Chain A
Amino acid sequence: MHEMSIALSIVEAVESRALEEGARKVSAIDLLVGRLSGIEPESLIFCFSAASNGTLAEGAVLAIEEREGMGECLDCGKKFPVSFYYAQCPGCGSMRIAILSGEEFQIQSMTIEEEGE
């Protein structure tokens, strides 16, 4: 269940920044989750609601943008989409693949509601 400790990390990061910004509430959080990052968006959303309970981020909408994996063949240089770490180059059949993208796991932005004037 690493999604729970990860959800807590998101709440912690968002809340400390929200406090700096003088937020009253965090209403939305935009995440970028690569398909190779080892994160299941559904269980992350489930854990987030528990992790954010009683914090500034309680009730915030988690918007998750998923990014496809891209690999590059180390032998022939061909770039192609990968959905697993054990991809095979569709050009030359090599297994020596470098992962170019798909491992991202970032908090892109958040939307806060500020204290009243």
Chain B
Amino acid sequence: MCDTCGCSSESGAVLRKPGDTGYHVHVGEHDHDHEGHGRNHHHDHDHDHLHHHHDGGGRKIVMEQDVLLKNNLIAERNRGYFEARNILALNFLSSPGSGKTSLLEKTIPVLLRHFAVAVIEGDQQTTNDADRIHALGVPVIQVNTGSGCHLDALMVNRAVREMELKDNSLLCIENVGNLVCPAMFDLGEAKKIVIISTTEGDDKPLKYPAMFHEADICILNKTDLLPYVDFSVSRCRENALRVNCHLEWFEVSVKTGSGFDALVDRILKMADHN
């Protein structure tokens, strides 16, 4: 049960805003309730007909549809909205602790000289990351996924409706820290950016190939720590390219700012071509 409004939200995601403790919006729940085929409804309906049971083996219905069709359709709606308004949407993915939020904190002030930026933060709980982005003075919505391990297109759709995105702007979507599940869910972004840090293993692209296969850009972060860790940049890069030969590769240190110019240039170029 939601402890703010008392409604049931066992699995649904919740949107929050930093500095506004009363604000929360449930994703999805109301869409289900109003469709008129809630679960209890089936039971009531079924009982009237149970005595007419026949056992002819049933009828086969060909569906041939993607399991994630619904997510993909909503993602395409998001994509169309972003394209129509010339909003560059980037989906940032990584394991927890690789520096996604710090990377955004470092790049957003530079990017703000060129266009407006807004952020959607995904985490199971807390508005900690959204608070950090809020401190930069850019619009941010926190999506708390509860037990969920990834953002989906509906969460992004709802979050975007709660924001006043500007035309010709950048939307950074920071996914839940997880190298597995978020790879499967299209959000409507223009590019997926996976971040890995030198404190992780350089074989991570091989261990989590689906994520690296899906990504367009890979950023290696924390290069300032290379003298202290057993991490081979060339081996990691080679592993990443084995999984996805089209992957673009960047090396940065959020701490020292090393490598940032190339990354910022790339984002500006993407925004130009968007």
Taking beta carbons and an 8 Å cutoff, which residues of A are in contact with B?
1-2, 5-6, 9-10, 12-19, 21, 24, 27-28, 31, 36, 38, 54-56, 74, 84-86, 88, 95-97, 99, 105-117
When distances are taken between beta carbons in the complex, the residues of chain A under 8 Å from B244 are 85
**What is the distance, in angstroms, from A74's C-beta to the closest C-beta of chain B?**
7
Residues 227-273 of B at the A interface (beta carbon under 8 Å): 239, 241-245
> Considering only CB atoms, which chain A residue lies closest to B182 in the complex?
A2
Contact of B52 among A15, A31, A74, A117 (CB under 8 A): A117
> Considering only CB atoms, which chain A residue lies closest to B206 in the complex?
A86
When distances are taken between beta carbons in the complex, the residues of chain B under 8 Å from A17 are 61, 63
Query: Cβ of B59 and Cβ of A114 under 8 Å apart?
Result: yes
Query: Cβ of A16 and Cβ of B239 under 8 Å apart?
Result: no
Contact of A112 among B59, B64, B245 (CB under 8 A): B59
Query: Cβ of B68 and Cβ of A105 under 8 Å apart?
Result: yes
> Considering only CB atoms, which chain A residue lies closest to B55 in the complex?
A113
Which A-B residue pairs are the 9 nearest by beta carbons? A116-B52, A2-B181, A85-B209, A86-B242, A111-B58, A96-B245, A85-B213, A85-B243, A107-B63
Given contacts A6-B184, A27-B58, 19 further A-B contacts (CB under 8 A): A2-B149, A5-B148, A13-B70, A16-B37, A17-B63, A18-B61, A24-B53, A31-B67, A38-B184, A54-B39, A54-B43, A55-B42, A106-B66, A106-B67, A107-B64, A109-B62, A113-B59, A114-B59, A116-B49
Does B150 reach chain A (CB closer than 8 Å)?
yes
Chain B window 46-57, contacts with chain A (Cβ cutoff 8 Å), 1 for yes, 0 for no: 100111111101
A27 to B60, CA, bound (A): 10
**What is the distance, in angstroms, from A47's C-beta to the closest C-beta of chain B?**
12
> Considering only CB atoms, which chain B residue lies closest to A106 in the complex?
B66
Query: Cβ of A105 and Cβ of B59 under 8 Å apart?
Result: no
When distances are taken between beta carbons in the complex, the residues of chain B under 8 Å from A12 are 70
A114 to B39, CA, bound (A): 18
Query: Cβ of A97 and Cβ of B60 under 8 Å apart?
Result: no
Query: Cβ of B42 and Cβ of A56 under 8 Å apart?
Result: yes
Contact of A105 among B50, B63, B67, B147 (CB under 8 A): B67
When distances are taken between beta carbons in the complex, the residues of chain A under 8 Å from B210 are 36, 38, 85
A2 to B67, CA, bound (A): 13
Taking beta carbons and an 8 Å cutoff, which residues of B are in contact with A?
37, 39, 42-43, 46, 49-55, 57-71, 147-150, 152, 180-181, 183-184, 205-206, 209-210, 212-213, 239, 241-245
When distances are taken between beta carbons in the complex, the residues of chain B under 8 Å from A13 are 63, 65, 67, 69-70
Query: Cβ of B71 and Cβ of A9 under 8 Å apart?
Result: yes
Query: Cβ of A108 and Cβ of B63 under 8 Å apart?
Result: yes
Contact of A110 among B39, B46, B54, B60 (CB under 8 A): B60
> Considering only CB atoms, which chain A residue lies closest to B205 in the complex?
A86
> Considering only CB atoms, which chain A residue lies closest to B51 in the complex?
A116
> Considering only CB atoms, which chain A residue lies closest to B68 in the complex?
A9
A112 to B58, CA, bound (A): 5
Query: Cβ of B67 and Cβ of A10 under 8 Å apart?
Result: yes
Query: Cβ of B37 and Cβ of A19 under 8 Å apart?
Result: yes
- Known A-B contacts A2-B184, A38-B184, A85-B209; the reply to A112 vs B61 at CB < 8 A is yes
A48 to B28, CA, bound (A): 20
Query: Cβ of B63 and Cβ of A109 under 8 Å apart?
Result: yes
When distances are taken between beta carbons in the complex, the residues of chain A under 8 Å from B64 are 106-109
A81 to B238, CA, bound (A): 22
When distances are taken between beta carbons in the complex, the residues of chain A under 8 Å from B46 are 24
A114 to B46, CA, bound (A): 11
When distances are taken between beta carbons in the complex, the residues of chain A under 8 Å from B71 are 9
